[in-house]
Copies of this chain bind each other. A is one copy, B any other.
């Protein structure tokens, strides 16, 4: 079977991870086009790999594809503000789409993108890469399979490393949407239900972050219809490496996904026993995970798998992140409402 020919638009950090994934030698995928508003960047990437065509935008690539049949599917890794346009143009051109999270900060836009995908009968996959992580996946599947009985407490920890640049933070959508959305997706996934209410508190130890009206340190508590409680603890700074952990307590046991280190070296001296810092940041920690995600997208394109993230997932996460942000601002718990896709 011929590989799915991929066009990646947006050649920043996430985009380049997908470029490498599409080049990874899997018979499922082939990279045949790249696009970036910085046309020179797209050309450099194309030059390094035979058979890859560069473009200055998703739209330019789609136009060329119409005439020359260049690619089968689109991976979108542009800044969030461009997502809706790129998604809609790609869907209209008949291409399945994988888009970096979030589809949009606006629920209405999320809904309109999925409505178009439904109309076009094409898959739209919102990329929450942690769903494809071997460790988080094992925890989620074991929890859902009843391995630890009734699920009672979920803890998700995400601490960034290094602190993002202020330029990035300005367009990040703030910590609840930018970081917290991953954790909100995780706890919903593990528990298989949506929260009733969210409470959040936050601090900004970093003055630049405070000046943006954003937070660098937050704790959220979510309560669920089953009685389960989730707590999410986020930070923009973890000098010991990218810190991403998940813990689930059930009445028959506990499941944890711990951090990992680049090597298995143990150094023992008079000062103590030490191992490496954790993986430096997301490209290292989630290297395999991103590739698994892209292969999942390949299988979604082929029709052999349904998208791991549904319309309801994508919009629920946005609504909950919003509610958490409001709780943090108003210092009262916020009820979660309007999650039903039908009501959209």
Contacts and interface: CB of A to CB of B under 8 A. Distances in A.
A316 interface: no
A169 to B, nearest CB: 17
A256 B274 CA distance: 10
A135 B275 CA distance: 11
Given A219-B153, A263-B135, A229 B251 contact: no
A53 interface: no
Given A159-B249, A238-B254, A265-B138, A217 B270 contact: no
Interface string A302-333: 00000000000000000000000000000111
30 contacts: A23-B24, A24-B25, A25-B49, A27-B49, A134-B263, A142-B265, A142-B267, A152-B203, A153-B219, A153-B235, A199-B333, A201-B221, A203-B228, A204-B227, A217-B227, A239-B251, A253-B267, A253-B268, A253-B270, A255-B265, A257-B265, A258-B264, A258-B265, A258-B266, A267-B272, A273-B274, A273-B275, A273-B278, A331-B333, A332-B332
Contacts of A20: 25
Give the number of copies in the complex: 4
A152 B217 contact: yes
A20 B231 CA distance: 39
A243 B223 CA distance: 22
Contact of A269 (B49, B203, B228, B252): B252
B277 A270 contact: yes
Interface string A129-155: 000001100110010000110101101
A29 to B, nearest CB: 10
Choose among A147, A150, A261 the residue with the greatest number of B CB atoms under 10 Å from its CB. Answer: A261
A22 B147 CA distance: 41
A287 to B, nearest CB: 9
B277 A272 contact: yes
Given A20-B25, A153-B233, A229-B203, A239 B270 contact: yes
Contacts of A51: 50
